[in-house]
Every structure is written in structure tokens, then in C-alpha cells.
């Protein structure tokens, strides 16, 4: 996009909610793009709470040098109950005005988008959101920053578990993140050849899982943390009880592995780095074209804008 809006002189960037691999790449690319366009760039540390506490610092090229290869976020992140209040958002708005900031880019998930929308009710600057969350649970985008890396991290863990499972004829139930969205579980289940994948979007068939186990010596079962069966530990207990009833006298060795927050960390994959870079540049260009209250997404391999609401 060509730059058509010349009112933006100062841009602020924050990361909010859960961290995701690729957020640092996003920060680096947004800062570089903005500086190349002669904007002043500020980093808001510790999310919306940092906006309230005026943890706002000017950034330059050196600030983001060599950060793209690292996981997490150099700007830190947090969740803020105070920002849910009118008083909290008033403090945040006043701090943005004190620094003369004209626009804010936030990289985060659904809660972060809601924060931007709420901020816009009390602040006159432009706001735009970009999807950064490993769960891939943001609407109107095919992929979110961090999802690909999380899948690869989980797949690597499962590949390692298979060696032990094969050696002991042992079944592993692997729990991955995803409270309401089964995208990680589905993707890693396919990639690692799991016999079954249990996700929140479908009703799980325990009998199907048991029958699959009966046919093989060792197996991997992937479950999203938000599945209605209650997670890996509960599923293990259910399967042991059910398997004993169906096959009395036979032992089924079930072991639980909950990957948890390890999926959020680590070096971002090439795919996540490219996605983060392109979304950052698209977001900056969109703001300079007068866009506000929008979310960046990718649909059918094209970058798009959707209303935050």
C-alpha cells in the first residue's frame, strides 16, 4: 500500500495475552518498517497493564537487533484486570497522549482485540490488531503467529515419546494446549500419526479409541486440554477402566504426557517468522492509510482486514 495518511508521527507496539513464538519477529519488523517511514516508535512493556503504568519506551533499530530468532516477547506480556475498568483505560489513554502517540498496534488473541476495542472508546488514536496466539483460535484468519511453531514443538515431543512407547509396548496420551480450539491437537495428531485425536469441537468416542488400541502394540493418542472428556489424566483413567471391562485379563499400559507451556516457547519456525514479518508490515501500512479498529488476518494466502468487533 502507498502511504496516503500523513497524520501518524508516533506509533506504539504492545504484545498482550499469552506469548507466542514469532512475537519478537513481529516487533522487529513493525519497528523497522515504521522507522523506515520516518515514524517514531515506542514499545509498551507488559501489555495493557504497562500502558496504565506508563511503561512506554522509545525504540530504535538497536532495540530490536537480533530478536527475531528468539521465542517469547521482549516487550513482555501480562493480563490486566485494571484495564477492564473505565478508570484504568483513562490512565492508559492519558499516558498515550502524554507521549504524543497517534496509533497502537497490538499482537495478541481475542482478549487483546477486546482491549483495543475498549481503548478506542476513550482514546482518539488509531488501533489495529494482529493475531498472535499458539491456539490458532482467532476468527477470520487462517493462521495465527505462533501456531506453526507450537505444532512443530509438540510433534517433536511425540516423536521422542514413540521411542519409549515402542520399547515398552506403552500407550501415550499426549495433552496439548487448546481450551476451546482443537487446531493444535488436530495438526500434530495428523503430523505424528496418532491413532486418535480428541478435540473440543467434536464429541469423543471412547469405544473408538479402545478399539484402535486393541489393534496395535503401542499408540499415541492426542487430546486438546479443552476436550469434554476432561484432559489427558481423566482420559487415562477412563480408558484403563473401559479397557479392563472389554478385555479382562489384558493389561493396557497408559502413560500421560502433558506438554503444557513448553509449546509456547522455543525458536519460531520459518513459517511463523515470515507470517509475523508480513503481518507487521501490512499492519503499519494499513495504519498509514487511515485504517483503525481493524484486525489483520491471512485468508487464502492474502492479507486481509476485518472489523475488530
Which sign does the torsion angle of CA 131, 132, 138, 143 carry?
Answer: positive
Catalytic residue from among 102, 135, 137, 148: 135
Q: Residues 6 or more apart from 105 whose CB is under 8 A from it?
A: 11, 12, 13, 14, 30, 127, 128, 129, 130, 280, 283, 284, 287
- The span from the CA of 223 to the CA of 238, in Å, is 13
Number of CB atoms found within 10 A of residue 251's CB? 10
Q: Residues 6 or more apart from 302 whose CB is under 8 A from it?
A: none
Phi, psi angles (nearest 5°) of residue 176 = -115, 165
Number of CB atoms found within 10 A of residue 260's CB? 11
DSSP 46-77: THHHHHHTT-EEEE-TGGGTT-TTSSS-TT--
- The span from the CA of 67 to the CA of 26, in Å, is 10
Q: Which helix (H) or strand (E) holds 277?
A: helix 270-288
Q: Are 202 and 156 within 8 A, CB to CB?
A: no
C-alpha distances (whole Å) from 107 to each of 26, 54, 251, 271 are 8, 18, 48, 17
Q: Is 135 a catalytic residue?
A: yes
Which residues are part of the catalytic machinery? Answer: 135
Amino acid at each position: 500500500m502507498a502511504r496516503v495518511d500523513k497524520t501518524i508521527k508516533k506509533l506504539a507496539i504492545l504484545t498482550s495475552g499469552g506469548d507466542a513464538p514469532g512475537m519478537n519477529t513481529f516487533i522487529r519488523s513493525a519497528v523497522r518498517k515504521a522507522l523506515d517511514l520516518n515514524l517514531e516508535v515506542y514499545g509498551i512493556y507488559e501489555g495493557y497493564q504497562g500502558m496504565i503504568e506508563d511503561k512506554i519506551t522509545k525504540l530504535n533499530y538497536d532495540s530490536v537487533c537480533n530478536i527475531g530468532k528468539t521465542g517469547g516477547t521482549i516487550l513482555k506480556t501480562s493480563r490486566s484486570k485494571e484495564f477492564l475498568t473505565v478508570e484504568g483505560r483513562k490512565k492508559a489513554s492519558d499516558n498515550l497522549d502524554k507521549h504524543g502517540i497517534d496509533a497502537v498496534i497490538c499482537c495478541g488473541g481475542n482478549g487483546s482485540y477486546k482491549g483495543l476495542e475498549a481503548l478506542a472508546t476513550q482514546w482518539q488514536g488509531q488501533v489495529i490488531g494482529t493475531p498472535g496466539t499458539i491456539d490458532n483460535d482467532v476468527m477470520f484468519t487462517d493462521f495465527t503467529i505462533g501456531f506453526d511453531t507450537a505444532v512443530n514443538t509438540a510433534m517433536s515431543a511425540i516423536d521422542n515419546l514413540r521411542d519409549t512407547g515402542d520399547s515398552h509396548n506403552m500407550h501415550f496420551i499426549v495433552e496439548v494446549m487448546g481450551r476451546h480450539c482443537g487446531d493444535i491437537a488436530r495438526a500434530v495428531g495428523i503430523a505424528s500419526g496418532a491413532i486418535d485425536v480428541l478435540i473440543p469441537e467434536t464429541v469423543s468416542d471412547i469405544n473408538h479409541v479402545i478399539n484402535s488400541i486393541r489393534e496395535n502394540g503401542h499408540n499415541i493418542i492426542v487430546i486438546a486440554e479443552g476436550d469434554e472428556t476432561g484432559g489427558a489424566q481423566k482420559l487415562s483413567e477412563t480408558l484403563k477402566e473401559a479397557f479392563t471391562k472389554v478385555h479382562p485379563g489384558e493389561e493396557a499400559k497408559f502413560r500421560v504426557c502433558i506438554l503444557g507451556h513448553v509449546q509456547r516457547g522455543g525458536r519460531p519456525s520459518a513459517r511463523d517468522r515470515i507470517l509475523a514479518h508480513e503481518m507487521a508490515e501490512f499492519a503499519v501500512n494499513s495504519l498509514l492509510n487511515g485504517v483503525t479498529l481493524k484486525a489483520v488476518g491471512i485468508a487464502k494466502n492474502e492479507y486481509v482486514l476485518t472489523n475488530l468487533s
